[in-house]
Amino acid sequence: HVQLVESGGGSVQSGGSLRLSCAGSGHQYQRVCMAWFRQGSGEGREAVAALDTGDVTITYADNLKERVIVSISKDQARATLDLQMIDLEPSDTGTYYCATRPGRCVERMNHLWYNYWGQGTQVTVS
């Protein structure tokens, strides 16, 4: 079965940076869509960035694209999606989730489109 495990969250000072990793395993398909979402307290789930492992196209949220980079590494057993974010602000505080869906990315920035999720990792910026 598909499993996503996020790591790298924690407390960060304003202006700092973070790096999150999402290790995905159990994919039966060569091509998958993987994404990072985040959710602040009392807010909806917001897309950060999404990547299609087939053509390696990346989409960033407009409000974050100046501060975020994602990258992918793959082998036969696992795909790892890394997220780097700089110039962190208190508004970046929230739980960051990794998501995936087999096949090519279609509605890649829509959290309702994904069918596999990680448990989330907390990021607190102060």
Task: Give pLDDT tens digits for 53-71.
Answer: 999 999 999 999 999 999 9
CA distance 45 to 95: 9
Task: Give pLDDT tens digits for 95-117.
Answer: 999 999 999 999 999 999 999 99
Q: Could you give the percent of the chain with pLDDT greater than 70?
A: 100
Arithmetic mean of pLDDT, 63-89: 94
Task: Give pLDDT tens digits for 19-32.
Answer: 999 999 887 778 99
Mean pLDDT of the chain: 95
E strand residue ranges, 15-64: 18-25, 32-39, 45-52, 58-60
Of the pLDDT bands very low, low, confident and very high (cuts 50, 70, 90), residue 122 is very high
Length, in residues, of the chain: 126
Identity of the residue numbered 59 = T
For position 34, what pLDDT does the model report?
96
